[in-house]
Chain A
Amino acid sequence: MIISHINTEHYAYFKLHAEEVISSNYLNDNNEGIYIRSLQFETVNRVYEHIKSIALNNKYIVLDFEFIDYLQANILDKIVDVRDLGYHLVFINLAPSILTSLSVKTVVNHKNVKNTIKGFDIFYFFSDESCEMYDVEINSRKIFYEEFKSRLKKGNYIVEYNKVHTSSFVYLKSFIDLKKFISHETPFIYFSIYYLAVKLKKKWSSYLDKNPILVGQSLTSAFVVSILSKLLKLQILIFDKIGPITKLYNKLDKPNFENKNYIIVSDLVCLGTEVKITKNLIEFSGGKYLGNISLVKVETLTRDDMRLDNIDRTISVFSVSDKNNIELNYNIYTNLKPS
């Protein structure tokens, strides 16, 4: 199973670190989470076998080496095997430490220019004088965002709802069915959760130092928590706020929340009501709430709109905002008339 394969208009994209994380944590039992920094031959071979087994529409393949600092021996041979299937290869995010292993000096292409840290942001593994790819922007964040949006739209995961939200007194026109998304968008959903883990590590590395506990607060988020726990090597807590488990905790063996840090995990944060309830329960019990992460969040107002401080307490891999809500057919109404 290859989780990061995304077909764009011009090329097929693969993130090798994501594939290495799957090899390491799920196919083998190395349990290094997303902290693994070396790329193993087995992983590249899996990518090779995957490419070999399908017919790609594009002749260009982008291999993203972000977060890879070391390469196992003979990987270049396997990469050349991929090329020999008839594809032009483009590498992005090459760290200086892997350049020798990739024999970059053997490829003469004036378009390949080292960045400030002596690596390459983009490296064309071919020497063509002219190529359509030279003018194509390759941005891994954008690739992911566009793929997520495309899948949300294509799969009809945003369904008509028209439900009154009783705790926030608004009408939700539509609902994003992420449970269905998890079931139908396999294996892309695993890439999304990987992406969430990477984002959390990048943005909240100081929080991770505090050994936070990931809190699952719904059946759907429990699945996300399960994978995040493995990728980030964090403990979990099932905080079933609506159910009886919480009651039983109070009666039997109440967990000690004191001096512990918590990150609430959701599949979807719409108005944030459920997150707030869970946050209050954690804080009431003496725990410290660090923030909340979700696959999708709805940004009804941005932090700039609200003039809040710069501490971003919410992380997601996809946002519904004023920039895409019309395209996605997602709206929230109140009884009030717009002026």
Chain B
Amino acid sequence: MGSIILHISDLHVSLDKKIGGESNPHDSYLSTSLDKEPSFQFIDRFIDTIKKDFPASRIYLLVTGDITNAGEKKEFEFALEFLNRMILGLSINTEDILLLPGDHDLNRRSMEILLVNKEDSTEAEINICKYKNFSEFYYGLLHKEFDPNAVICSTLIVNDSILLLGLNSSIQINLAQRLGIIPLQMFEEELAKVPSLKDFKVIACTHHNLTSSYEDKNNGQWEPSNRDVFISKLISSGIEFLFTGNEHSNSAKSIKNGHLTASDAGTISSKQYESTFKVYEVTINDDIILSNKIYVLQKINNNDLPYQWDIRTNDRFDQPDSFTVSQKKPPEIDEHITEMVVDLDDRITLDSEVVENDGNKNEVADYYYDPEFSDVLYDQMRKINVFHSGHFHWSETSRAHNWIDVSKLIEDKETLDILMNAIADVINVKEIYKDLDLIIGLGYEGNIIASKSVLKYGMPYSFLPYSYRYEEHHKFEKELNFGNDDGKFQNVLIITDVVNDGRTIRKLIKKRHGDFFSNVKNVFVVSLFYTGQESINKNILNFNYLSNQPWFDKENDEEVNNITFYTIKTLKVEKCPYGKDFRQQCFIYKDSLSCVNLFYDESKYLKK
């Protein structure tokens, strides 16, 4: 017998009439109308669909809030009846249900009355008051108490492998606060008390959405000051998935370069928006995989076949067919890099890749991301149109089919300010400035974008040409101009515009300026873009890490293992698929079919 997680959200069971008897226009198919048949019919068609598609499955029910529209007692009475009908019809054990409150489940009217009578009410008192109706409903449905002052409402274990962690993102919502928040200290304290947490793959569940697919913003309906720390806490706790509702838009979206994936069920009952829910079929073998099935309600207008649900393919909906919650073996990378068409409309990030460090999958990724800089940088790149496709050769071994023309990006004064501030922000956020002894700007662009940080942090500074351009420069321009025999420079920061596999940086450290760097303890590298193929993490430029990758060419590289790397934005570019024999194998180069852009003098190689 298989299992499914049935994810519904935002039922918004609504008052049919306002208090006093006036008609109450509302958006939900589920209402408190005395004529319950339309609501029952809606529930029954839903039950039919699930029973038909998953006839012998154990059903775990996840309800991510907004059961009612206004948290009114009458709404909850009807909601209890509707959900009981659903549970009974689908033979769901009440122990297999995780139900969270949404911001529409708290009763604002009672909160107002409380504050009128007792203006200095504590947050705990307000929570008890605002969730009074919900608590009664909760007990009536699940036969257990709801704690209005706990961040972790409840947990649900699925197939002894997955733990759904129910979080109350409305806990601090009151008459003034409307966005989702998870108080971090409470979360940490309560999380520490969840038994056997390490034995499960944890999926966090909240009502509020941490990101958006309908609204044109990344922050979702979440308090910005809380969002970043909460995301960081989830990631550092090994939580890589988040199931939400609230936005009334069915979606799946990556956050923080794919380290957290959010799946939103949408609203199950909306006349205005598209009504949707999700079914995650649970497959557990070596890996734990959840299929991502999206159900959509056919829009009806007194049709003969009301409330029909059908499954939607994800092909053009920008959602994966499945979520790999846990993977026993790390993903294998093809030795042969296949050609792909680069489309700027398709953000080429590492969204779906698994974080991995030196083969240890569970190690938490350390990387930089701030939408103020990471997303803005990407937007500027698109706006100024500096992402080029073609054949770009930087050296005999470094060739790609894409090029980010950063020199063009920095021509714009406002963009240059953003780039400089972004670099300075990485140094600040990652606290690189502490104990830093020297900054090196690499290349024209690195030299330019470094200047603000150099002045801001008052650091000794030098700049060097790109490795592939070394021979073109005057001998004085190739000097580092600092000696390090006495080990004075222990921590050195290299600022550059684009890093691919980091070969040129390792060459710089080991070969070009080996004497200086032999006494350097830590080399920090900060770039605007990372264009390589690894999941972003701070150690992906180190030789030992790369040695584990099948594509890595050890012979032509330098053994450097003290690099800590941060980048503002990750963009995967397509590498040239040919090897040393590209002059013979690449017909585009060989027959001059298209423009091949050379960043180096290849004449000396041609003579050989």
In the complex, what distance in Å separates the CA atom of A253 from the CA atom of B595? 13
Give min CB distance, A213 to chain B, whole Å. 8
The answer to whether the Cβ of A74 comes within 8 Å of any Cβ in the partner chain is no
Provide the A284-318 mask, 1 if CB < 8 A to any CB of B, else 0. Answer: 00000000000000000000000000000000000
CB pair A186–B477 under 8 Å, yes or no, is: no
Q: Which residue of A lies closest to B446 (CB)?
A: A222
Interface size class for chain A? 35 or more
Provide the B470-481 mask, 1 if CB < 8 A to any CB of A, else 0. Answer: 001100110101
The answer to whether the Cβ of A237 comes within 8 Å of any Cβ in the partner chain is yes
The answer to whether the Cβ of B412 comes within 8 Å of any Cβ in the partner chain is yes
Give min CB distance, A141 to chain B, whole Å. 24
Interface size class for chain B? 35 or more
Provide the B276-304 mask, 1 if CB < 8 A to any CB of A, else 0. Answer: 00000000000000000000000000000
Provide the A148-188 mask, 1 if CB < 8 A to any CB of B, else 0. Answer: 00000000000000000000000000010101101110110
Contacting B at CB under 8 A, from A213-237, are 213, 216, 218-220, 222-223, 225-227, 229-230, 233-237
Give min CB distance, A35 to chain B, whole Å. 14
CB pair A244–B463 under 8 Å, yes or no, is: no
CB pair A238–B476 under 8 Å, yes or no, is: no
CB pair A190–B455 under 8 Å, yes or no, is: yes
Contacts of B482 in A (CB 8 A): 183
Partner of A226, one of B407, B448, B460: B448
Give min CB distance, B443 to chain A, whole Å. 8
Give min CB distance, A267 to chain B, whole Å. 10
The answer to whether the Cβ of A333 comes within 8 Å of any Cβ in the partner chain is no
Contacts of B599 in A (CB 8 A): 243-244, 248
Instruction: Please tell me which stretch of A26-34, A61-69, A80-88, A92-100 contacts chain B, meaning at least 4 of its Cβ atoms lie within 8 angstroms of it.
Output: A26-34
Give min CB distance, A152 to chain B, whole Å. 15
CB pair A225–B448 under 8 Å, yes or no, is: yes
Partner of B598, one of A223, A244, A253: A244
The answer to whether the Cβ of A245 comes within 8 Å of any Cβ in the partner chain is yes
Contacts of A243 in B (CB 8 A): 469, 472, 599
In the complex, what distance in Å separates the CA atom of A222 from the CA atom of B421? 18
Q: Which residue of A lies closest to B482 (CB)?
A: A183
CB pair B447–A26 under 8 Å, yes or no, is: no
Q: Which residue of A lies closest to B453 (CB)?
A: A26
Contacting A at CB under 8 A, from B359-398, are 385, 388, 390
Partner of B416, one of A29, A186, A236, A247: A236
Provide the A183-199 mask, 1 if CB < 8 A to any CB of B, else 0. Answer: 11011001000000000
CB pair A238–B463 under 8 Å, yes or no, is: no
CB pair A222–B465 under 8 Å, yes or no, is: no
Partner of A26, one of B410, B456, B479: B456
Q: Which residue of A lies closest to B413 (CB)?
A: A235
The answer to whether the Cβ of B458 comes within 8 Å of any Cβ in the partner chain is yes
Q: Which residue of A lies closest to B421 (CB)?
A: A29
In the complex, what distance in Å separates the CA atom of A243 from the CA atom of B599? 8
Contacts of A186 in B (CB 8 A): 458, 460-461
The answer to whether the Cβ of B504 comes within 8 Å of any Cβ in the partner chain is no
CB pair A184–B600 under 8 Å, yes or no, is: no
Contacts of B458 in A (CB 8 A): 1, 186-187
Partner of A184, one of B421, B477, B481: B481
Contacts of B462 in A (CB 8 A): 179, 183
Q: Which residue of A lies closest to B598 (CB)?
A: A244
Name the residue in B416, B443, B444 with the highest tally of chain A Cβ atoms < 10 Å from its Cβ.
B444
Partner of A238, one of B410, B413, B465: B410
CB pair A253–B408 under 8 Å, yes or no, is: yes
Give min CB distance, A274 to chain B, whole Å. 11
List the 7 closest A-B pairs by CB distance, nearest first: A1-B458, A226-B451, A226-B448, A26-B455, A183-B481, A238-B407, A180-B481
User: A residues bordering B, Cβ < 8 Å?
Assistant: 1, 22, 26-27, 29, 31, 175, 177, 179-180, 182-184, 186-187, 190, 213, 216, 218-220, 222-223, 225-227, 229-230, 233-238, 240, 242-245, 247-248, 251-253, 255
User: B residues bordering A, Cβ < 8 Å?
Assistant: 385, 388, 390, 405, 407-408, 410-413, 416-417, 420-421, 441, 443-445, 447-452, 455-456, 458, 460-463, 465, 469, 472-473, 476-477, 479, 481-482, 595, 597-600
Some 23 contacts from A to B, beta carbons below 8 A apart, are: A1-B455, A22-B455, A26-B452, A179-B463, A183-B481, A186-B458, A186-B461, A218-B477, A219-B465, A219-B473, A220-B463, A222-B447, A223-B447, A223-B451, A223-B463, A230-B417, A230-B420, A233-B413, A236-B411, A243-B472, A245-B407, A248-B599, A252-B597
